[in-house]
Structure 1
Amino acid sequence: MTTTAVAAPHLPARLGRFVLRRCPPRLYVSYGLLWVLALEGSAVTLTGTSWRPSGATAVRVVSVVLVLLFLRMLDEQKDLAHDRVHHPDRPLVTGAITGAELRGAMAAITVVVAGLNAVLSATAVLLILAVLGYGLLLAPLERLAPAVRDRPLLGLAVAGPVQLLLGGYVYGSLVAAGAVSADRRGAVLLVLCACVFLHLEFARKTAWETSPGAGLYSSVLGPRGAAGVTVGLAAGAVACEALLFAPRGPLALLPCLAVLFPVHGARRFLAEGRGAWPVSTAVAFVAVTHLALAVRAMLLP
């Protein structure tokens, strides 16, 4: 009996433990769900059409969550050498999961998301596969250009387009379905979502102290510089919201109140002068902004 045959019955459990450890559903599913509802709902209502979630919405939510899982699995493999030194308890390092098992799961995810989006349109299939394809390009790129891995801001500039492509999938699939027409408001909406995500990304990697292998943005920009960028990204999201929704009345601007979380985070970080940015304030900003946009889309004309 081969090792593969012995291991196969245990694979679902091994993958399940990996997901619970490295891709907690309460975070990944919540983020994917709220992001898609906010983006789709806002895009549709900006055309003057009422919006309610549909079966197509569910396909987009599942696709986004699965792509986030795919990218997490890819990152685990890309970062293996780094994790052996700085994170020896990670599943891939300890052998709790293998690279071959992760690649098999990634192949299965590719088949599932392509099949799901075939129900929507050929355009949706191409857009979602483009996200996966770009993600796969990052691994050989980091091998060929180590600076992409070693320099945090360069790495962000190279990997950042994955988020824009994933947002472009949601918006582009709506365009292909005839639910919206591509225009500048769509571009502003994608920038809004990118600013929300990047606010959390910078908050996660901003601290007064620098630890080996942490890849902090504050190690390059300085704590105050990174804090300024973190707050600036939240302000950029609010500016995009105002640009899109101000003509629809003051109630349409309620999502902008989520900026209070980054303001509170900045005050705590700068006042304490030590430790890391209070990431809970950034998580709250992401969750409240997306939730408020989704609710606004369902309640306001």
Structure 2
Amino acid sequence: MRLARFVRGSHPPVPSLAFAALWAYGVTGLFAALDPEPPAWRPGAGTAVAAATLFVDLLLMRALDDIRDLDYDRRFNPRRPLAAGAVRTRDLVVLYAAGTVVLLLLNAAWPWRAGILLVQLGYAAGAIAVHRGWGRPSADDLFRSLLVGLPAPLLLHLYLYAGYLDASGRHPDWSAAVAIAVVVLAAGHAELAGKLTRAPSAGERTYVTTLGVSGTAAASLAVPVLSAALLVAWSQAPAGWTLAALLPLGSPIAAAWAFARGRTRWPPFAPALYMLLSFASYLALGLAR
């Protein structure tokens, strides 16, 4: 089946589910860790639904990304299912429509959460439609594309915050903005470092084109440090748990050391490892409340 080949090639179920689960549990824990009032929160059925929701949502975002990047992938990632011809664009459109229905049904018991998801899915699809129809923004303009794409993950974080409020019985407050800033900065490391190379091929999309190798490497290290600093400054967890906020920095620091010693590219596994460690640290801090 074509869609099964797409899932295996672009969204492998086991690692993707692990990533989605750590994201859902970790970021929800982060909201608890930064909440100025001691929250009555522990992971429950709602968190499990959020993890399943992120798993499906990330599959749909992958489908949109592959549609947008089809021409680029044919040159630089020819083994991706869509670029290789193992699946068709219309198949991914059907997948997106069906997945949207599944997500809305999965969250039907929480109307606010379902509404946020609907806005997020509609925005993401609309952004790709504009790109396909008018080529705006150019996918080669990484910073503008990043800004246009940013509302989609922000809305997912708001979805998780709505779930946290439901589970804890709390009312919205400023700490959510700090928590989202912590996660966005952490994700910024994965975005920058994942495209860092000393010798980009002609037409390759990399921030090195704009920032240079040294500038991109410096930015790749600065954003996780700033993320950790915000987390340490605002965490309401016991002081002895501060180390949990700093441990994920070991991954980008080790990767930077390897890159400085002459690697052509940033170690490819390091950005994902950093994100997984960050999510795990958020959950630990949230549970420590």
Both structures adopt the same fold (TM-score exceeding 0.5):
yes
Would the alpha carbon gap of residues 182 and 246 (structure 1) be closer, same or farther in structure 2, given more than 3 Å must change? closer
Q: Does the C-alpha gap of structure 1 residues 146 and 42 become closer, same or farther in structure 2, counting only changes over 3 Å?
A: closer
Residue 23 of structure 1 aligns with which residue?
11
Q: Which amino acid aligns with 1:66?
A: V
Task: Look up the equivalent residue of 2:108 and give its one-letter code.
Answer: A
The aligned residue for residue 134 of structure 1 is 123
Moved more, 183-192 or 152-161: 152-161
Displacement after TM superposition at 1:14 (Å) = 2.4
What's the offset of the Cα at 1:177? 5.7
Counterpart check, 1:125 vs 2:114? yes
Corresponding residue for residue 5 of structure 1: none
Residues 1-36 of structure 1 show CA distances to partners (whole Å, capped at 9, x for unaligned) of xxxxxxxxxxxx322221111112233212211111
**How much does 1:269 deviate?**
1.4
What is residue 145 of structure 2 aligned with on the other side?
Answer: 155
Q: 1:88 to 1:261 in 2, by over 3 A?
A: closer
Look up the match of 1:8. none
1:108, CA displacement in angstroms? 1.2
C-alpha separation in 2, matches of 1:87 and 1:281: 20
How many residues align structurally? 286
Change (3 A) 1:246 1:59: closer
CA distance in structure 1 between the partners assigned to 2:243 and 2:154 by the alignment: 24
Code of the residue aligned with 1:257 in structure 2: it is L
Do the aligned residues in 1 keep the contact of 2:259 with 2:267 (CA within 8 Å)?
A: yes
Hey, what does 1:270 align to over in structure 2? 260
Runs of 4+ in structure 1 displaced over 6 angstroms?
Answer: none
Q: Which letter maps to 2:56?
A: L
Counterpart residue identity of residue 138, structure 1: A
Please state how far the C-alpha of 1:145 moved relative to its aligned partner. 4.2
Q: Output the amino acid matched with 2:23.
A: W
Change (3 A) 1:211 1:27: farther
Root-mean-square deviation (CA, aligned residues, Å) is 2.0
Q: CA deviation at 1:175?
A: 3.0
One-letter amino acid matched to 1:277: W
* Aligned equivalent of 1:169, options 144, 155, 159: 159
- How many angstroms does 1:294 deviate by? 1.1
Change (3 A) 1:219 1:26: farther
Distance in structure 2 (CA, Å) of the matches to 1:18 and 1:165? 25
Q: Which residue identity is paired with 1:94?
A: A
Deviation at 1:49, TM superposition (A): 2.3
CA distance in 2, matches of 1:112, 1:179: 27
Q: Distance in 1 between matches of 2:65 and 2:139?
A: 11
CA deviations on 1:206-251 (whole Å, 9 max, x unpaired) are 1111113321111221111111111111012101211221673132
Q: Is the Cα–Cα contact under 8 Å of residues 195 and 236 in structure 1 kept in the other structure?
A: yes
Shift of 1:90: 2.8
2:271 is paired with a residue whose SS is helix
Asked which structure has the greater CA Rg, the reply is: 1
**What displacement does 1:50 show?**
4.1
Q: C-alpha deviations, 1:147-194, integer Å up to 9, x for none? A: 431211211121122111111111133335663321111111011111
Counterpart-to-counterpart distance in 1, 2:74 and 2:231: 42
Instruction: Indicate whether 1:74 and 2:64 are aligned.
Output: yes
In the aligned structure 2, how far is the partner of 1:32 from the partner of 1:210?
A: 31
Give the one of 192, 196, 201 matched to 1:202: 192
Aligned position for 2:269: 280
> Partners of 1:150 and 1:282 in 2: how far apart?
21
Q: What is the correspondence of 1:4-83 to structure 2 with a 5 Å cutoff? A: 13-45=1-33, 46=35, 47-83=37-73
Where relative contact order (Cα < 8 A, 6+ residues apart) is larger, the structure is 2
Separation in structure 1 between the aligned mates of residue 149 and residue 245 of structure 2, nearest angstrom = 28
Cα distance per residue 1:35-92 (max 9 Å; x no partner) = 1111112323533124321111111111111111001011111222333344343322
TM-score, normalised to structure 1, is 0.88
Q: Which 10-residue stretch deviates more, 177-186 or 73-82? A: 177-186
More helix by share: 1
Matched with 1:10 is: none
Q: Could you tell me which runs of 5 or more consecutive residues in structure 1 were left unpaired when the two chains were aligned.
A: 1-12
What TM-score do you get using the length of structure 2 for normalisation?
Answer: 0.91
Choose 200-209 or 18-27, whichever is displaced more: 18-27
Q: Measured at CA, do residues 179 and 35 of structure 1 come closer, stay the same or move farther in structure 2, by a change above 3 Å?
A: farther
